[in-house]
Amino acid sequence: MRFLSQLVSYIFHPIFVPLAGTVSYFLITPKYTTLEMRSGNILPVFILTIIIPILSFFILKNLGIVGSVFLNKPEERKYPLMISLILLFLILLKVIPDNYNIELYFFFLGLIAASSTCLLLLYLPFKTSLHMMGMGSILMFLIALSYHFERNIVL
């Protein structure tokens, strides 16, 4: 049972939420999008939300700021959340306007709001669940896409 819970924890890690939202948008949208437009959004989102945070985690670990991948103490979560916020703002300001998709814009705006709230709650000694923040964000995005495109995407 412990193995299953750790597997689910790794599969649904918050680092994959922006990429999952972007890919699900292109799978659900009835709008025609070219391969260049899809790759123009998916590749930068992959690099900015998965590759760079992993590299920055190793830098923070070598500097002694974080102890493990699990970020057990609330103060260990501050720098990774700040880095995540900067990267999400970068996506919002540089990646989305190039291939403007209003739905993705609001998805990343929602991710920024959720991450900012988690960061704000860390300054009160309150440890929030980033997994739940990520899953709640993707769930609300899929519900909003279903409503917006008038398609039933419930499994």
pLDDT per residue over 71-102, tens digit each?
A: 878 888 899 999 999 999 999 999 988 767 89
- Provide the whole-model pTM: 0.91
Is the pLDDT score of 106 beyond 90? Answer: yes
* Average pLDDT estimate for 99-123: 92
CA 28 vs CA 20, 23, 25, 31, 33: distances in Å: 12, 9, 5, 9, 11
What is the model's pLDDT at position 115? Answer: 95
What is the model's pLDDT at position 31? Answer: 86
First to last CA, the chain: 25
Q: Domain ranges in the chain?
A: 37-148
pLDDT per residue over 125-142, tens digit each?
A: 888 888 899 999 999 999
What is the model's pLDDT at position 96? Answer: 87
